[in-house]
Amino acid sequence: MHELGWQPAGVGLFVPGRRDDALVAEVREVVTRLDGLQNPVVRRCSPMTSLALLDADPIEVVVDGSAFERPYTDEKAAFALGDRLRELLLALAVTLRPLYASIVLEAPFLSPKDLLVTPEPDLFLDAWFDLSRLHAGIASAYSGAHVEQVSGGLYVSTRAPFNPARFDEPLAASLERARRAMAQVVAHG
């Protein structure tokens, strides 16, 4: 796993278990192209949990949750940051093709194996899934939420800052959606 160093905005990236310079270059290229983070620092780090399955290689965009606490201190700034994080997540997902990628607020990185032991449905509140490796039925878990097809994958979102439609719903409903999606990811693993 690689971590792109934490930036002043409180954004960190965890990307697939490949430990080669080509991966680091790919990630830097995506981040630089989007101007998402200033001078990203890529460093190798030991996994916090068991690494994902070889065919999963999840990506996680982790952000300090304070900008997204409700009521928003600055809704416009929260939505602007959310839009940039969504754009970054989708660009990384399309480039690196993980099984899933997600935006999380200060949460631990979890692989499909980890989810069997420690279910964390909030990992799937705003996420991209590779539909070529997961059953397309995963979309049914998000019926009514923000859903969009992106390069052979499915981006879903239940929190307003992370989708252009600004779809938002109570956390309990979002977590139930995410639990159903999580069950499909775990079944894949």
The predicted-structure confidence for 17-53, as pLDDT tens digits, reads as follows 555 567 667 777 777 777 655 544 443 333 433 333 3
CA pseudo-torsion sign 70, 72, 75, 77? negative
Does the pTM surpass 0.75? The reply is yes
1: confidence class by pLDDT, cuts 50, 70, 90: very low
Q: Any idea what the Cα angle at residue 16 is, between residues 119 and 92, rounded to 5°?
A: 100
pLDDT at 142: 92
* Chain centroid offset of residue 153 CA: 13
Please tell me the distance from the alpha carbon of residue 87 to that of residue 31, in angstroms, as a whole number: 10
Please tell me the distance from the alpha carbon of residue 164 to that of residue 148, in angstroms, as a whole number: 10
The predicted-structure confidence for 146-187, as pLDDT tens digits, reads as follows 999 999 899 999 999 999 999 999 988 888 888 888 887 777
Over range 103-129, report the average pLDDT. 71
pLDDT at 110: 61
54: confidence class by pLDDT, cuts 50, 70, 90: very low
